[in-house]
């Protein structure tokens, strides 16, 4: 069905979303990764597309179908995600939902075999994609990060906002059993303050965030 322009407030805007985990190979058969179902990020990409945005979804490995109307770019590692994000810019807004692995391993060429003692992994810090987007030229007008925390949720989110140079942080308390599940309970942390949203289905949290992004982009130019 054709939608009236008023229901597509993001028409003509390009929005970039990251979602899912990254996988950092240890050897050809093993990897390290963060826990992430990708559900919240995919729901956000779908909600943005529904509001008319040209939506690019850079996704780590998850078994989810591509959201309707979204251009999807599959990556595996944080380095690949960083490169795909840089290539997808410029954007009017960026929403970095991915659970990027903080470290990678200098991977072994061949499968590590048992029997000669447990291997020691030396870890190398991965690029911070959110911080890079926050300092990109030209910079998206709105840069949104996520923060999954298990304690001091708001304080950690405020510190992350300042450290990374983004505009908003969507913070959630993952000690509340939301990871991988259908619902989420988030706090929207901006430079102006904190809004605590009710626990709701990830699709409804996504719809609420997409509306807020449309409002923020609509307020200027």
Residues that bind ligand CTP (CB under 6 A): 18, 78, 96, 98, 100, 102, 126-130, 145-148, 160
Please report whether residue 74 would count as binding Ca ion according to CB under 5 A. Answer: no
CA distances to 8, 67, 81, 96, 138 from 125, rounded to whole Å, are 40, 31, 14, 18, 26
Q: Which residues pair with 186 in a beta bridge?
A: 172
Q: Which does 146 bind (CB under 5 to 8 A by kind): ligand CTP, Ca ion, none?
A: ligand CTP
34: annotated active-site residue: yes
Q: Which of 34, 126, 172, 184 is catalytic?
A: 34
> CB-wise, 127 or 208, nearer to ligand CTP?
127
Stretch that binds Ca ion, among 10-18, 70-78, 102-110, 176-184 (CB under 5 A): 102-110
Query: In 8-111, at which residue ranges do the beta strands (DSSP E only) sit?
Result: 14-19, 23-27, 30-33, 54-59, 70-74, 93-96, 103-105
Q: Which residues pair with 201 in a beta bridge?
A: 183
Minimum distance, C-beta of residue 197 to Ca ion, in the bound complex (Å) = 22
Minimum distance, C-beta of residue 135 to Ca ion, in the bound complex (Å) = 18
Rounded CA-CA distance 20/63 in Å is 10
> CB-wise, 34 or 66, nearer to ligand CTP?
34
For residue 160, give the nearest of 191, 124, 126, 125 by alpha carbon: 191
Cβ atoms of 85 and 129 within 8 Å: the answer is yes
SS3 category, 22: coil
9 is in an annotated binding site: no
Number of residues that bind Ca ion (CB under 5 A): 1
Catalytic positions are: 34
Binding-site positions: 102, 111, 127-130, 146, 160, 164
- Rule CB under 5 A: which residues touch Ca ion? 102
């Amino acid at each position: 069905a054709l939608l009236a322009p008023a229901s597509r407030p993001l028409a003509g805007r390009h929005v970039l979303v990251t979602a899912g985990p990254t996988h950092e190979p240890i050897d050809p058969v093993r990897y390290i990764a963060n826990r992430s179902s990708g559900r919240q990020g995919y729901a956000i990409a779908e909600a943005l597309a529904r509001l008319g945005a040209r939506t690019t979804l850079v996704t780590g490995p998850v078994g989810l179908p591509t959201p309707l109307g979204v251009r999807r770019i599959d990556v595996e590692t944080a380095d690949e995600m960083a490169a795909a994000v840089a290539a997808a810019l410029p954007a009017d807004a960026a929403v970095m939902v991915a659970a990027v692995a903080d470290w990678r391993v200098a991977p072994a060429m061949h499968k590590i075999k048992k029997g000669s003692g447990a291997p020691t992994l030396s870890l190398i810090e991965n690029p911070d994609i959110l911080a890079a987007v926050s300092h990109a030229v030209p910079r998206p007008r709105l840069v949104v990060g996520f923060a999954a925390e298990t304690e001091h949720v708001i304080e950690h989110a405020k510190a992350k906002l300042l450290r990374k140079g983004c505009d908003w942080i969507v913070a959630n308390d993952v000690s509340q059993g939301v990871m991988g599940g259908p619902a989420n309970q988030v706090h929207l942390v901006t430079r102006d303050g904190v809004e605590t949203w009710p626990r709701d289905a990830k699709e409804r949290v996504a719809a609420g965030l997409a509306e807020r992004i449309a409002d923020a982009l609509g307020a200027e130019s």
